[in-house]
Amino acid sequence: KITSPNQLSCEGRSAGGLLIGAAINQAPELFRMALLGVPFVDVVCTMVDASIPLTIVEWEEWGNPNEEKYFQYMMEYSPTNNIKKNASGNYPACLLTGGLH
Using pLDDT thresholds of 50, 70 and 90, give the confidence band for residue 37: very high
Is residue 18 situated within a structural domain?
yes
pLDDT at position 85 is 80
Is residue 69 situated within a structural domain?
yes
Find the helix or strand (DSSP H, E) in which 44 lies. helix 43-48
Shared-domain flag, residues 25 and 57: no
pLDDT at position 75 is 97
pLDDT at position 101 is 65
Is residue 100 situated within a structural domain?
no
86 or 52: which carries more pLDDT confidence?
A: 52
Shared-domain flag, residues 14 and 37: yes
pLDDT digits (tens, 9 = 90+) for 53-73: 999 999 999 999 999 999 999
pLDDT at position 52 is 94
Is residue 63 situated within a structural domain?
yes
Shared-domain flag, residues 29 and 51: no
* CA within 13 Å, CB half, 18: 15
Q: What is the sign of the dihedral through the CA atoms of 50, 13, 30 and 95?
A: negative
Is residue 89 situated within a structural domain?
no
What is the average pLDDT across 3-15?
A: 96
Contact indicator for 28, 40 with CB cutoff of 8 Å: no
- Give the whole-angstrom CA distance, residue 58 versus residue 91: 30
Is residue 60 situated within a structural domain?
yes
Collapsed DSSP state (helix, strand, coil) of residue 78:
coil
Domain span including residue 74: 43-83
Res. 20: pLDDT tops 70: yes
Q: What angle do CA 49, 101, 50 make, to 5 degrees?
A: 10
In the beta sheet, which residues pair with residue 9?
Answer: 33
